[in-house]
């Protein structure tokens, strides 16, 4: 008597034969699965995930592990898609209080700006990883959109109408995935998904990445310009006409913090950076009194 006989013919995972390989094509033909896929009452199909589904304190014991993993996917999806926003004043309250802590309490330090720059570098390293990850991996599509794409694919290839099953006509799973991702308009709100590579090989491309996605992630808008200083080809500047944080309070300290962020983004992408400094150009342009220029000096 084998192990399989003892457990009988249960539905689901079979430990003897191992995991079953299911082609997406077969799934498409199965009426039960399709109907479950289209069921609007099923919470796993809903676009808006309700707050009740959570893995925050679900037990990770072996018994419930399968359930937890399905929930886990949903929360991962939720965290990926939903970009929360908080008020700027909350951010500034917290940042100012910590700047005050650094300046008042760390009396043994002589150079407080250095400390603020270090905090900025710590933040920048995490930002770079997060934004890079978010912009290179395509956004996870809601189930309803996936459904729609699948249906349109079936319509064009006429699987239903074909009387006999012709293997050459049935699409492979890869083709369907390609169809889904190519036809879907991946539009995430704050980050452009196109034109991003896993690693930036040129100095200009990392600067463009800071100027575009990272700036938009931090402040909700792009920076205004990138320029190269004429005489020295190793010096670049990023221009922000209307900086969000540093125009409000403690300009020099917050600029040090942002310089730290820029520097660690450049350094962690594999370039040697001598220093990043910020300059406020008050008299440059009467329309933008807070215009700030961040100078990035590379090492050859």
Partner 1 sequence: MVSSVPDTSISTTGSSSSAAIKNSPNYSNVVFLKQLGEQVFQQNMKKINAEFLTITYGSLVKVLIDHYKDDVEKCNQKLKEMGKNIGSRLIDDFYSKVTTQIPRCNNLKDLGNTLSLVAFKLYLNCVPKFLFDEEEKIIKLRFDNDINIFSKFVELPDEYKNKRLYYSNIIAGIIEGALSGIALKSDVIYFSDTLLGDPFSEIHIANVKRIKDEVPMGQ
Which chain residues interact with partner 1 by CB under 8 A?
Answer: 51, 54, 56-57, 79, 83-91, 93-95, 97-98, 100-102, 105-106, 115, 119, 122-123, 126-127, 130, 190, 217-220, 244
Question: At closest approach, how far in Å is the CB of 169 from partner 1?
Answer: 46
Nearer to partner 1 (CB atom), residue 120 or residue 200: 120
Nearer to partner 1 (CB atom), residue 6 or residue 89: 89
Nearer to partner 1 (CB atom), residue 51 or residue 164: 51
Half-sphere exposure of 80 (CA within 13 A, CB side): 16
Question: At closest approach, how far in Å is the CB of 56 from partner 1?
Answer: 5
If residue 264 lies in a helix (H) or strand (E), which one and from where to where? helix 251-268
The first and second tokens of residue 153, run together, are 């694919």
Among candidate residues 182, 232, 192, the one with its CA nearest the CA of residue 213: 192
Nearer to partner 1 (CB atom), residue 125 or residue 298: 125
Question: At closest approach, how far in Å is the CB of 174 from partner 1?
Answer: 33
Nearer to partner 1 (CB atom), residue 15 or residue 84: 84
Give the pairing type, strands 292-298 and 273-280: antiparallel
Nearer to partner 1 (CB atom), residue 25 or residue 96: 96
Half-sphere exposure of 127 (CA within 13 A, CB side): 25
Rounded distance between C-alpha atoms, residue 68 and residue 49, angstroms: 16
Question: At closest approach, how far in Å is the CB of 190 from partner 1?
Answer: 7
Is residue 139 within 8 Å of 81, Cβ to Cβ? yes
Question: At closest approach, how far in Å is the CB of 77 from partner 1?
Answer: 14
Question: At closest approach, how far in Å is the CB of 73 from partner 1?
Answer: 16
Half-sphere exposure of 66 (CA within 13 A, CB side): 3
Between the alpha carbon of residue 23 and those of residues 20, 30, 149, 208, the distances in Å are 10, 11, 17, 41
If residue 70 lies in a helix (H) or strand (E), which one and from where to where? helix 65-81
Question: At closest approach, how far in Å is the CB of 86 from partner 1?
Answer: 5
Rounded distance between C-alpha atoms, residue 54 and residue 29, angstroms: 32
Rounded distance between C-alpha atoms, residue 7 and residue 98, angstroms: 61
Half-sphere exposure of 201 (CA within 13 A, CB side): 1
Nearer to partner 1 (CB atom), residue 189 or residue 230: 189
């Amino acid at each position: 008597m084998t192990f399989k006989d003892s457990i009988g013919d249960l539905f689901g995972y079979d430990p003897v034969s191992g995991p079953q390989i299911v082609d997406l094509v077969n799934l498409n033909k199965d009426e039960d699965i399709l109907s479950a896929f289209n069921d609007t009452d099923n919470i796993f199909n809903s676009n808006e995930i309700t707050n009740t589904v959570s893995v925050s304190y679900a037990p990770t014991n072996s018994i419930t592990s399968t359930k937890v993993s399905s929930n886990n996917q949903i929360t991962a999806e939720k965290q990926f898609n939903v970009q929360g926003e908080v008020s700027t004043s909350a951010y500034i309250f917290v940042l100012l209080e910590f700047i005050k802590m650094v300046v008042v309490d760390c009396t043994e330090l002589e150079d407080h700006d250095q400390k603020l720059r270090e905090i900025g570098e710590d933040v920048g390293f995490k930002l770079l990883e997060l934004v890079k990850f978010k912009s290179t991996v395509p956004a996870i599509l809601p189930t309803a959109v996936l459904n729609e794409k699948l249906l349109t694919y079936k319509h064009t290839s006429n699987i239903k109408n074909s009387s006999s099953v012709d293997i050459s006509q049935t699409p492979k799973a890869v083709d369907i995935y390609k169809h889904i991702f190519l036809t879907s308009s991946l539009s995430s709100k704050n980050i452009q998904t196109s034109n991003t590579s896993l690693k930036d090989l040129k100095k200009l491309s990392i600067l463009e990445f800071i100027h575009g996605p990272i700036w938009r992630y931090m402040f909700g808008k792009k920076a205004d310009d990138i320029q190269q200083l004429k005489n020295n080809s190793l010096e670049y500047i990023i221009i922000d006409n209307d900086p969000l944080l540093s125009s409000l309070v403690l300009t020099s300290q917050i600029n040090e913090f942002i310089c730290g962020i820029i520097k660690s983004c450049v350094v962690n992408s594999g370039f040697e950076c001598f220093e990043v400094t910020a300059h406020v150009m008050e008299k440059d342009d009467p329309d933008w009194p807070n215009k700030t220029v961040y100078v990035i000096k590379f090492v050859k």
